[in-house]
Structure 1
């Protein structure tokens, strides 16, 4: 269900993100309220994301600069230009990469995503440090009412997604809005995550269910 009022927590998160399309409908969108996705501020933000994705997905170095250091550095620069937060220059996303807005995506240090990651970030998506994502993963905050009338009017809503530190998201996983995946989790390939997964768990299936716990580790020392 859509939220009845704005979320101070999500508004506080947004205040720390770059490139945010501030407007009334944006605040409703990230708060989980019903909102109009076709207002100019949101439409322009999505168009800007598509331009940035085209640049990211099609850039490749000249022969003289064909090395992993150059590729990593330049791709990180492009990602920082349109995502909400990037933890460090070690971020590595294999193209193609697709995102709905960009400013609502925050990733931590040493983030890696394999080919074909799709993030529908109508609400804020927060990903922790040292997270690995397999190929063909979809992270979708966006949803609609089942009543048809609001869909005819382009009204929708979204719920945030949080993925903790040291998680491994297997290939083909779908993570739906409103889900929090705790630290140290593994999500098995092909799973659909519809509910929270507690820290230090392995979850598999459709819908994903916890099948085992793993040893909890202390704070990572850089």
Structure 2
């Protein structure tokens, strides 16, 4: 059975990000985000949320960007502030009652360290898990494969390079 690059990506295997199907999927997500960002309203929010694998009650401020949207699942009562970026080549799970500050970026995708492999578009992705009742300060960057436990607080402008335990305050 031949797997598509999309299948490989979703299964956590190395995949080629310059594959035509993946580029078209990213373009569709960009257009959905652009519709919402140009005219933010509950009606236009549907352009983004119909991409998501799941969501409940959700507020997203304008400036939201994602790669695919299909690998984002969001719990109840989640607030995503202005200008957030979700690079969702792997799953991004966001629990209930999560506050995400402005300009927060989630990066699930990673690239090879060898320049030849990078030039061929090869990459891999690892999921990000955000527990319940988490607050992520503005400008924070969450790297691939990170788990943030319930009730954690992530400081503004930090790069989260390791897992964060429940109830922990991570300030870089």
Distance (whole Å) between structure 2 residues aligned to residue 83 and residue 42 of structure 1: 16
Number of corresponding residues: 170
- Structure 1 position 150, deviation (Å): 0.6
Q: Is the radius of gyration larger for structure 1 or structure 2?
A: 1
Moved over 3 A (4+): none
- Structure 1 position 84, deviation (Å): 2.0
Over residues 48-67 of structure 1, what are the superposed CA-to-partner deviations in whole Å (9 max), with x where a residue is unaligned? Answer: 0011011110115xxxxxxx
In the alignment, is residue 178 of structure 1 matched against residue 145 of structure 2? Answer: yes
- Paired residue secondary structure (2:106): strand
1:43 to 16, 20, 23: 23
In the alignment, is residue 123 of structure 1 matched against residue 51 of structure 2? Answer: no
Partner of 2:110: 143
- Paired residue secondary structure (1:85): coil
- Structure 1 position 42, deviation (Å): 1.3
In the alignment, is residue 157 of structure 1 matched against residue 124 of structure 2? Answer: yes
In the alignment, is residue 110 of structure 1 matched against residue 90 of structure 2? Answer: no
Distance (whole Å) between structure 1 residues aligned to residue 39 and residue 52 of structure 2: 17
Instruction: Verify the 8 A CA contact 2:84 2:105 in the aligned structure 1.
Output: yes
Instruction: Verify the 8 A CA contact 1:31 1:159 in the aligned structure 2.
Output: no
In the alignment, is residue 85 of structure 1 matched against residue 16 of structure 2? Answer: no
Over residues 99-118 of structure 1, what are the superposed CA-to-partner deviations in whole Å (9 max), with x where a residue is unaligned? Answer: 01110111111110111100
Q: TM-score, normalised by structure 1?
A: 0.73
Structure 1 residues without counterparts, runs of 5 or longer: 1-22, 61-70, 206-222
Instruction: Verify the 8 A CA contact 1:30 1:159 in the aligned structure 2.
Output: no
CA RMSD, Structure 1 to Structure 2 (Å): 1.4
Partner of 1:53: 33
